[in-house]
Structure 1
Amino acid sequence: MSTFLIDRVAEQLKSMPQPLQWQVLKFVQTLISSQIQGVPGQQLLQFAGAIPTDDLQLMEEAIEEGCDRVDLNEW
């Protein structure tokens, strides 16, 4: 494994103030602890074409109509 990237990050960290160094550490820890969620797209191909074309057209029209308006009293 090449240490080039690790060395570059360490080099940049040295020039940063300590509060920012702590932020970087916390960010790295968050990345390490996060898990990939979801499924590969290949597994979703079985659903391709499952929604009838007419329904897709209705959905598209509803999105086009509703996305141009904002209801300021909604919340």
Structure 2
Amino acid sequence: MTATSIKKNLIAQIEKLPYDLQLRVLDFAKALIPKGVEGKSLLKFEGAIHTDDLQLMLKAIEENCEKVDTGEW
């Protein structure tokens, strides 16, 4: 089956559905599409943050984000 025949078949099947089910199919199709960007497109930002700043960020995360406040709730 070719991509074109799949599209035609899919459209033919969707057209048989009531409107509310067509919307559900559309939502499902959208959910199948990967979100975000590929990692390689982020490589242009490599080195944008100075190493010293990264160390400060890491230290802040380790000191403050790994604590559990049992009385919070």
Report the TM-score when normalising by structure 1. 0.48
Instruction: Return the TM-score normalized by structure 2.
Output: 0.49
Asked which structure has the greater RCO (Cα within 8 Å, sep 6+), the reply is: 2
